[in-house]
């Protein structure tokens, strides 16, 4: 018995803040399912994601089926001192490699979220969203954090050329170890393109 094919994206689109607000609950459900979080996590994330839309350089890309169903989403913005993630990463870098904090934490796009519905993972959709999101993103580099471990996301980031900035770091409020990865922008064209 073979599994039914997963839905394939018919189009990758850039969302305005208003368009993303209309799909916020759908996007947060994808996040919760992709990360394996309890459903109650959505109540905390939706307001945070709404606040992120107000940040400088915010941009969002989604993958939609022909029936306008959201399969995946990615967004980010310019990182700045005073933002929670920036300050957490700065603290971690200063503790381990003080000289590289300024190098990485200046003029960067923070890839805040990138998630694909579990039944659509493994088809290249995450890379399509990532490339479209970073094409024209503000900043001379991009930074992200991802849980440590051999995951599809981890393999994607390595394939795209992300390097270690900070490894086995624990963000306040999360017991899991994370890697902070970064690379220069723009991305090189996909091989074969």
How long a stretch of residues is the chain? 193
Which of 75, 108, 157, 169 is the catalytic position? 157
Structure token digits, residue 139:
């900043």
**Residue 157 among the catalytic residues:** yes
Contacts 24+ apart (CB under 8 A), 51-58: 52/77, 52/112, 53/17, 53/20, 53/21, 54/17, 55/80, 55/83, 56/80, 56/138, 57/109, 57/137, 57/138, 57/139, 58/17
Provide the annotated active-site residues: 157
């Amino acid at each position: 018995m073979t599994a039914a094919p997963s839905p394939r994206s018919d189009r990758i689109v850039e969302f305005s803040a208003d368009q993303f607000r209309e799909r916020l609950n759908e996007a947060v459900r994808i996040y919760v399912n992709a990360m394996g979080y309890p459903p109650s996590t959505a109540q905390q994330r939706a307001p945070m994601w709404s606040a992120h839309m107000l940040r400088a350089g915010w941009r969002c890309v989604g993958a939609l089926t022909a029936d306008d169903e959201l399969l995946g989403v990615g967004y980010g913005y310019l990182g700045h001192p005073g933002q929670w993630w920036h300050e957490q990463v700065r603290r971690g870098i200063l503790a381990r490699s003080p000289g590289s904090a300024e190098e990485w934490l200046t003029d960067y796009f923070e890839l805040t979220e990138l998630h694909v519905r579990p039944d659509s993972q493994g088809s290249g959709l995450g890379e399509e969203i990532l490339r479209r999101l970073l094409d024209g993103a503000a900043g001379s580099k991009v930074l992200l954090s991802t849980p440590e471990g051999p995951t599809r996301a981890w393999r994607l980031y390595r394939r795209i050329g992300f390097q270690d900035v900070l490894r086995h770091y624990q963000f306040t409020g999360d017991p899991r170890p994370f890697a902070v990865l970064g690379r220069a922008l723009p991305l090189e064209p996909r091989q074969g393109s």
